[in-house]
Structure formats: C-alpha cells, structure tokens
C-alpha cells in the first residue's frame, strides 16, 4: 500500500515539532511566561493575557462533527490561506518540486509556491472554465507534488465536475497530492467531495468559516485530510495559531441555532445571486455573466473601467480582473444585501 507521506519532504517528516506550553487550564499557569493580569477583554474561559490551546479540542470536535469526519482528520488554521501555505511547505522542496494549478483560479496557490521557491505548472481550465482531467494528467510530471483545484472556482464561480476531479485523483494516485479548495461549497447546492478521501488518501480538502458562516474577520480555516497528513502539517503550523476570540467565535458558529441561521442566509444569498444575475444581464453595458455556484458573479463588461468607476461613485467597491489572462473586461461582484444589490444595479444602469 502506498504511504501518502512518501510524497512529503523527508526533512519535514523527520522534523521534531516545536514543544509549546502544555494545556492544563485547571492549573494555575506559571509555565508560559504570560502576564498574570487580564486587561479586561474577556475571550471565554481564559482572558487574553493567556495563550489559547494550540489545536482546541472542543473546536476540533465540533468541526469534525460538522464535516462528518473524525477529529484526527481536522486541522484548524488562520483561514484557507494558511492551509495552502502549510501544504506547500510540507510537500515541496525549494528549487526541486513543483505545484500545478488551473487558471484562471485563486492566486494564492501560485503565491504560496513562489514563497516556497517551488516552480509552478499551469494547466488552464477549458473554454467554459471547466476541468479537463486528461490535460491535467498529461501536464503532470514526477516533480509535481501538488495539484490545486478550486470548486466552486474563484474568480469564475463555477463548480468543477465531480467526475473530472475523480479522474484526476485516480490518474495521480500515489504520485501527487490533490488539494481541493471548497471555500464556496455551501453556496453550490451540491455535496462536498470529502467522501472520496476514503478511496484517495492523497485528497486534501480545504474549508473555511469565512464565507457562508460570515466569519471572514475571525480567520478560521480548516484542513480535512487523512490523519497522517494532518499530523505532518501539525508539525509545522505555528503554536497558538488561532487567537482566543477566533476560537470562541468559531465554536459559537457551529451551534445548531447558528447553523440554522447560516443555512437561511445562504438560501437568501442564492436568491439574490439569481436576481442580480437577471438584472445585470439586461443592462447594455454587460456583455456576459458566467454561471456561478458561489456568492459572487464574474461579469464581462463592454467597458470594465467605466462600470468599476460607476460603482465606486456610488460607494461600491468591485474586484477588477480585467487585466488577468482570459478575463479581459471582467469584474467580480460579490452578492450583497438586497439594498446593496439594488444600489449596484442602479449605478450600472446609469453608467
């Protein structure tokens, strides 16, 4: 049987993890060089003068229950961005190993590779921004340790076909890690690919509480992988990665009443996404709107600069992708509240 850690950096496998201070909240803490006086800003059981638990057991358990996995398959980190960085650092040697991704997609994959000194291999999405599994497999070479996929994809908004993802996993079994970023999956109306992990231990899933759960400012990302990979990443994650307020906010977000509210807000955003799509496509300035399974729309304009300026004049900030390859004339528009969406429609109609 293939050991998935054979793909990892040997020096990381041999690395002795940093020994952070023990977590014994029932005892008086005279072991971590903390200030004995809290400043009055409470953050749960312990004040902010105390270090938080490195991988908080209660939060890990709640996340495991939410995602339907065992606690040993969960690592918390500072947003999906840190998860991406950890995987690249653990599996790619600078100057020797490579990372593959499929543009147009999330720029952090290439950025993390560059920081690590790993080369990149770009295998573009097809003409409809779909995943061409055959092209990905043909583009792989022995130096490629990680393939990043994003579904729903950012910035295009479309989901990648599950069958194509499975073909990539099957074709690269034992040869590369496949990291699937599902940051926007709650808006897609389809299930996660997490179940594929039982047959494909090389599959790593990235999730986040930033989007659907509304905790972007808390910075709580989640890596879901087989325990061997989680254990390896835990060797290199900084101690006390999550702050106490983040832990409190994340745990609260997983309470049944909060999850019910999140589901309701996701439904409302999907309704607004459809309404915004219908209103924008009727405007003369709009050339095309790509199908979206996320909480944003990728919109192609006849004059993207004019549309961007019109929105800005009315206090609305859009994301300009018009200078990116294959995205000429495109702005990415986050679906806002009904009132914000109305203001955007009126701004662009008057442009």
Q: Check whether residue 41 and residue 149 sit in a common domain.
A: no
- Token pair in block for residue 67: 């995602």
Count of the separate structural domains present in the chain: 3
Q: Check whether residue 115 and residue 211 sit in a common domain.
A: yes
For residues 180 and 145, what is the distance between their CA atoms, to the nearest angstrom?
Answer: 14
Q: Check whether residue 187 and residue 226 sit in a common domain.
A: yes
Q: Of 242, 244, 252, 237, which is closest to residue 220 (Cα–Cα)?
A: 242
For residues 114 and 168, what is the distance between their CA atoms, to the nearest angstrom?
Answer: 24
Q: Check whether residue 35 and residue 86 sit in a common domain.
A: no
pTM (2 decimals)?
Answer: 0.95
Chain centroid to CA 153: how far?
10
Per-residue pLDDT reduced to its tens digit, 75-128: 999 999 999 999 999 999 999 999 999 999 999 999 999 999 999 999 999 999
Spatial strand order in the sheet of 319-320: 286-289, 296-301, 330-334, 319-320
Q: Is residue 18 part of a domain?
A: no
The Cα-based distances of 67 to 63, 64, 108 in angstroms read: 6, 5, 24
Per-residue pLDDT reduced to its tens digit, 35-55: 888 876 665 556 788 888 999
End position of a domain, from candidates 254, 276, 300: 254
Task: Count other Cβ atoms within 10 Å, centred on residue 102.
Answer: 26
- Residue-number span of the structural domain to which 341 is assigned: 258-349
Q: Of 74, 97, 108, which is closest to residue 237 (Cα–Cα)?
A: 74
Q: Is residue 341 part of a domain?
A: yes
Q: Is residue 119 part of a domain?
A: yes
Q: Is residue 2 part of a domain?
A: no
Q: Is residue 7 part of a domain?
A: no
The CATH number that applies at residue 338 is: 3.90.1150.10
Q: Check whether residue 216 and residue 82 sit in a common domain.
A: yes
End position of a domain, from candidates 202, 233, 254: 254
Give 255's DSSP letter: S
Per-residue pLDDT reduced to its tens digit, 250-309: 999 999 999 999 999 999 999 999 999 999 999 999 999 999 999 999 999 999 999 999
Q: Check whether residue 99 and residue 112 sit in a common domain.
A: yes
Q: Is the peptide bond before 341 cis (omega within 30 degrees of 0)?
A: no
The CATH number that applies at residue 93 is: 3.40.640.10
Q: Which residues, in sequence order, are CB contacts of 210 under 8 Å at separation 6+? A: 79, 80, 183, 216, 218, 219, 220, 221
């Amino acid at each position: 049987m293939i050991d998935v850690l054979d793909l990892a950096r040997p020096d990381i496998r041999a690395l002795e993890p940093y020994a952070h201070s023990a977590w014994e909240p029932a005892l008086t803490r005279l072991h971590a060089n903390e200030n004995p006086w809290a400043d009055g800003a409470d953050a749960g059981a312990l004040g902010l003068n105390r270090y938080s638990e490195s991988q908080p057991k209660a939060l890990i358990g709640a996340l495991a229950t939410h995602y339907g996995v065992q606690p040993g398959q969960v690592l918390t980190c500072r947003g999906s961005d840190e998860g991406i960085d950890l995987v690249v650092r653990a599996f790619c040697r600078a100057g020797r190993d490579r990372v593959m991704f499929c543009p147009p997609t999330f720029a952090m994959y290439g950025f993390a590779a560059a920081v690590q000194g790993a080369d990149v291999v770009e295998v573009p999405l097809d003409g409809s921004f779909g995943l061409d599994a055959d092209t990905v497999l043909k583009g792989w070479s022995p130096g490629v340790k990680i393939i990043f996929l994003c579904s729903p994809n950012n910035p295009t908004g479309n989901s990648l076909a599950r069958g194509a993802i499975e073909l990539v996993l099957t074709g690269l079994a034992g040869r590369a890690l496949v990291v699937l970023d599902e940051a926007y999956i709650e808006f897609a109306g389809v299930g996660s690919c997490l179940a594929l992990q039982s047959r494909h231990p090389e599959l790593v899933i990235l999730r986040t509480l930033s989007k659907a759960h509304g905790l972007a400012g808390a910075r709580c990302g989640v890596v879901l992988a087989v325990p061997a990979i989680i254990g390896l990443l835990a060797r290199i994650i900084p101690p006390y990665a999550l702050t106490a307020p983040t832990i409190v906010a994340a745990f609260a977000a997983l309470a049944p009443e909060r999850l019910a509210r999140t589901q309701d807000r996701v439904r409302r955003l999907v309704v607004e996404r459809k309404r915004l799509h219908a209103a924008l496509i009727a405007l003369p300035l709009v050339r095309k709107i790509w199908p979206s399974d996320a909480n944003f729309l990728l919109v192609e304009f006849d004059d993207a600069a004019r549309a961007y300026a019109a929105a800005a004049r009315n206090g609305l900030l859009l994301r300009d992708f018009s200078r990116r390859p294959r995205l000429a004339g495109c702005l990415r528009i986050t679906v806002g509240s009904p009132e914000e969406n109305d203001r955007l429609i009126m701004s662009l109609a008057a442009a």
